[in-house]
Amino acid sequence: MRLRALLETDALGLRLLGGEEELDRGVRGVMTTDLRDPSRYLSGGELVLTGLAWRHSPEDSEPFVRILTSAGVAGLAAGEAELGDIPEDLVEACLRHRLPLFAVNESVAFATITEHVVRQVSGERAGDLAAVVDRHRRLMTSGPAGGGPEVVLDLLGSDLDLRAWVLSPSGRRIAGAQDPLPAGASAALAGEHLAASRAGRRAPYRAVVGGSTYSLFPIRNSGRGAAPASRDVRETVLSEWLLAVEADAGDWPAARLDLLQGVTQLIAVERDRREAARTVRRRLAQEVLELVQSGAAPAEIAARLRVAAPVLLPGLGAAPHWQVVVARVDWEAPGSTAAGAPAVAPAAGPAVEAGQLAQSLLEEILVDPAAPGSDPADRIAVAHTGEEAIALVPLPASAVPVDPESGETDTAEAGLHADELLASVREPLSAGLADDGRLTLGVSAAVHSAEGLRGALEEARHARRVAAARPGSVCAAGHHELASHVLLLPFVPDDVRRAFTARLLDPLRDYDRRHRAELIPTLEAFLDCDGSWTRCAARLHLHVNTLRYRVGRIEQLTGRDLSRLEDKLDFFLALRMS
């Protein structure tokens, strides 16, 4: 029941003194007390009745109200029999803490209010339990076979007035209420779910996003029970869907929680169905990948691609261009905290599972966001080999721009771009990977024939290695970056990098520590301004003579000449590798 219902019951004679905006709070019980600190007897949601015997001075009101608020009570009803009018200090304290306050006329016994509340709450619980049982039966007969998760979620909305959404690990909306979640809320909820799962918290997880409270229920793989002991929890949480319900399930009865668990089991059946539907695409990708890696003739690869194209992109017509995306998930060894330590697959599971996890995540990342209800693998085929996942992405003609002057296609700008792929998934997947996991992606340029696929695969693998050399738990690199020095730097051995940077930069760092001379920032700005004295001085807000003095000091300490291209290049690389 709601506090508003108590106020509207004339027989109780309650008078509202403050907190009108909080009258929609639910009441789960009633308690009468005159203790100064009744917190040990409160569990939240109660209407507290008090005769004010605990109040000896105006200073007593603030701590009493603060205790009630911390305990999560629904409201406070104070009797007028002891003091007459309710003290103003109590009214003000309740207003400060947004606690609804009622005055109870001296002619109304607390027992009358207690009996009314208990009768209403008990009746609602009994009715709710009967309704839950009936709804559970209806849900079980209207599951995925009767129309998919949308049917189940519609029943939750119509019968229980619960708005709910099914989300993927990256926050993609799979099904749910007609009203979309607020911008950014899906990714935030997915991140909260993954972080809670990694921390081993007990579901459902409570999350507050954008001022609204949600309860998050994991959707486990159906028919498989709990994850096998040989599997690492880090892998399973990154492949789970979740059910996000706009409500706080913390005070739900067990029957309603069981109902929601049943809903997740029904949706898990649909998840497994969609997973099975990807089998054909995955097999096509695996066949093409094996042909490419084995050095098969281009004609044989082209024939296989002609078979794959209609399956991956129905109605495409002519053979499309293709892109290759390579992904890998790495985990630190248990207990490893050393910086720069090589990432390894989890000790708890076989190495092939890392490739399967990367495959699942890559399918999720490559989903078309314009079609939220479609299968994530509608346009892609993802295979895995060892610890790598490899996607063949077909590009329709509209995705390949044409130069208006020459009439030739511009494959360098076609299709997927590395940074755009991760824009919406970085936050939630970073939460799931936590501090011990990394996801790295490499994206090739588009190719228009079977002859180019082998080169595209190698290009995507090189780009992924460039991404792996960057900081962060979710990183990607594209083919554009392979024509730059950044392609070379990740493959320089660590001891060589450290020796090279120390030889050039340590004298400057030591000098800066002793004299606060800012030689390193000056060097960075000077190189960034292409050696222009006036532009660099303006950027650093220095007189040109001061800049010349600093550059001279850099040259003196290092024995280099910043007017020579070779020395500028050495400094540039040292700064990039430091």
Q: What pLDDT digit, counting tens, does each position of 116-144 carry?
A: 887 777 655 545 545 554 555 555 555 55
65's tokens: 């109200």
CA distance 280 to 87: 74
Rounded mean pLDDT, 413-428: 75
- pLDDT for position 347: 37
Kindly list the distances between the CA atom of residue 419 and the CA atoms of 65, 111, 479, in Å, as whole numbers in the listed order: 51, 66, 12
User: Rounded to 10 degrees, what is the CA torsion of 169, 246, 272, 280?
Assistant: -60
**What separation in angstroms does the CA of 9 have from each of 2, 14, 81?**
12, 8, 20
Of residues 559 and 81, more confidence is placed in 559
pLDDT higher than 90, residue 553: yes
CB-CB contact of 170 with 428 (8 Å): yes
Q: Is the pLDDT of residue 560 over 70?
A: yes
Q: Is the pLDDT of residue 408 over 90?
A: no
Cα 219 to Cα 172: distance, rounded to the nearest angstrom: 14
Banded pLDDT at 514 (limits 50, 70, 90): very high
Q: What is the mean pLDDT of residues 324-348?
A: 57
**pLDDT value at 366 more than 80:** yes
Average pLDDT, the chain: 78
What SS3 class is residue 49? Answer: strand
Give residue 94's Cα distance to chain centre: 38
Which phi and psi angles does 440 have, rounded to 5°?
-125, 140
Per-state percent for the chain, helix, strand, coil, to nearest 5:
50, 15, 35
> Which pLDDT score is estimated for 520?
94
What single-letter amino acid sits at 561? D
Q: How confident is the model at residue 85 (pLDDT cuts 50, 70, 90)?
A: confident
What is the model's pLDDT at position 217? 93
User: What is the number of residues in the chain?
Assistant: 578
Alpha helices by DSSP H, 82-171: 88-96, 110-141, 149-160
Closest CA to 466 of 499, 500, 445, 441: 441
The fold adopted by the segment(s) 3-118 is 3.40.1390
Asked if residue 284 lies in contact with residue 322, where contact means CB atoms within 8 angstroms, the answer is: no
Say if residue 314's pLDDT is above 70.
Answer: no
Which secondary structure element, helix H or strand E, spans residue 246, and what is its range?
none
Span(s) in the chain for CATH 3.40.1390.20: 3-118
* Stretch 370-396: mean pLDDT: 68
Classify 426 as helix, strand or coil: helix
* SS3 state at 64: helix
Confidence class for position 322, pLDDT limits 50, 70, 90: confident
Q: What is the mean pLDDT of residues 206-221?
A: 88
483-504 mean pLDDT = 68
Cβ pair 298, 450 in contact under 8 A? yes
Whether residue 481 has pLDDT greater than 50: yes
CATH 3.30.70 occupies which residues in the chain? 279-336+344-489
Question: What number is the average pLDDT over the span 183-206?
Answer: 87
Strand bridging mode 321-331 / 173-176: unpaired
If you average pLDDT over residues 476-487, what whole number do you get? 68
CB 127 within 8 A of CB 47: no
Q: Which secondary structure element, helix H or strand E, spans residue 101, and what is its range?
A: strand 101-104
Q: Please, what CATH class does the domain formed by 279-336+344-489 belong to?
A: alpha beta
CATH class of 144-277: alpha beta
Q: What is the pLDDT of residue 252?
A: 83
> Which superfamily does 494-577 belong to?
PucR C-terminal helix-turn-helix domain (1.10.10.2840)
Name the least confident of 355-359, 440-444, 514-518. 355-359
Give the rounded percent of residues in the chain with a pLDDT score beyond 90: 20
- The answer to whether 416 and 393 have CB atoms below 8 angstroms apart is yes
Q: Where in the chain is the domain with CATH 3.30.450.30?
A: 144-277
